[in-house]
Amino acid sequence: MATTPQPIRTVKAFYAGRGIRSLSRDVARKIIISLKASRRNPTGSTGWVRFPYYHHVFDDERAGFEKHLRYYKSIADIISLDDALELMTGDTPIDGRYICITFDDGFKNWTDNALPILKDMGAVAAFFVATDYIGTDVNADRDKLLKFYDSGDKLMEFMTWDDCRSLHDAGMTVGSHSVHHAHLADIDYEAAQAEMVNSKKTIEDELANPCDHFCCPFGVPGVDFDTTTHPSMARDAGYKSFLTTRRGPNTLGADPFAVRRDHMLANASLLEVRYFLGAEDNP
């Protein structure tokens, strides 16, 4: 009998089984970033909103995440997604530095680990869920869950709708990350529309609250979504924003349907955080 994969609760388990080549690439990347980080400083400028985005805060990443929050607080104000969009689309210059923390996918470690830390630190964040995965069970839905990542061997636990309600009740934003974690560029117009419309309706029904924000799975403009089609499709579906994975700051006049975000791992060093938040534009 094959061994049953266990749900992944640590970053150590998440990266277990990676080849030596991949690991050494990581070490090299960390060294280069650390060297370059000294020349990048997010406090060198003001008038921006930056959106770090995370996927998971595993049990062994809690301390790292807490450290990130403390760093964000030391250089900026942590604000909600609605407030961030208001600053970007307002008619007065953005005075200061602002951080809007976001999360993609819908993992159980959000309520287990990220939420208590955010609450302790008095911080808010926006959480984007792929609705078809919410309420799945690691045993009953094992085959489906193992396909969430291409490697096919990582069993991730997702939240329940009660968990999503607890995020909302704690003052967090819950938005859509499509129904099926869809690669919009690969599906036709109607299917993409259904991903946006149906996930919005499910979240609104479950949370009894408007779902105003769409975060594009994978999120690279021109690769994972069509810049001329999908952002306007989200607007027509009733969303107020479309979040991407293009890096960089959002300044006054930035398009709420092309929000730039900076990918973060919760156990990344502060040098790495500083490196990514200090980048002027898409590196």
Answer yes or no whether residue 224 interacts with Zn ion by CB under 5 A.
no
Rounded-to-integer distance, Cα 100 and Cα 123, Å: 10
What is the closest distance, in whole angstroms, from the C-beta atom of residue 179 to Zn ion in the complex? Answer: 12
Rounded-to-integer distance, Cα 283 and Cα 276, Å: 9
What is the closest distance, in whole angstroms, from the C-beta atom of residue 195 to Zn ion in the complex? Answer: 12
Give whichever of 53 and 65 is closer to Zn ion, judged by the CB atom.
53
Region binding Zn ion by CB under 5 A among candidate stretches 65-73, 164-172, 203-211, 217-225: 217-225
What is the closest distance, in whole angstroms, from the C-beta atom of residue 105 to Zn ion in the complex? Answer: 5
Region binding Zn ion by CB under 5 A among candidate stretches 69-77, 113-121, 216-224, 260-268: 216-224
Give whichever of 104 and 206 is closer to Zn ion, judged by the CB atom.
104
What is the closest distance, in whole angstroms, from the C-beta atom of residue 219 to Zn ion in the complex? Answer: 8
> Do the beta carbons of residue 166 and residue 191 sit within 8 Å?
no
DSSP run (H or E) holding 104: strand 101-105
Rounded-to-integer distance, Cα 212 and Cα 175, Å: 7
Answer yes or no whether residue 105 interacts with Zn ion by CB under 5 A.
yes
Residue with CB nearest Zn ion? 104
Rounded-to-integer distance, Cα 19 and Cα 33, Å: 21
Which of 52, 64, 217, 231: binder of Zn ion (CB under 5 A)?
A: 217
> Do the beta carbons of residue 196 and residue 176 sit within 8 Å?
yes
Give whichever of 11 and 156 is closer to Zn ion, judged by the CB atom.
156
Rounded-to-integer distance, Cα 24 and Cα 35, Å: 17
Which of 61, 66, 104, 195: binder of Zn ion (CB under 5 A)?
A: 104
Size of the site for Zn ion (CB under 5 A): 3
What is the closest distance, in whole angstroms, from the C-beta atom of residue 223 to Zn ion in the complex? Answer: 14
Answer yes or no whether residue 219 interacts with Zn ion by CB under 5 A.
no
Give whichever of 104 and 272 is closer to Zn ion, judged by the CB atom.
104
Region binding Zn ion by CB under 5 A among candidate stretches 33-41, 97-105, 203-211, 260-268: 97-105
Q: What backbone torsions phi and psi does residue 3 show, to the nearest 5 degrees?
A: -75, 140
Handedness of CA 156, 213, 64, 32 (dihedral sign): positive
What is the closest distance, in whole angstroms, from the C-beta atom of residue 81 to Zn ion in the complex? Answer: 16
The residue count of the chain comes to: 283
Cα 10–277–258 angle (5° rounding)?
95
Binding residues for Zn ion restricted to 134-153, rule: CB under 5 A? none
Handedness of CA 225, 231, 237, 241 (dihedral sign): positive
Cα 266–272–276 angle (5° rounding)?
100
Give whichever of 131 and 278 is closer to Zn ion, judged by the CB atom.
131
User: Which parts of this chain interact with Zn ion (CB under 5 A)?
Assistant: 104-105, 217
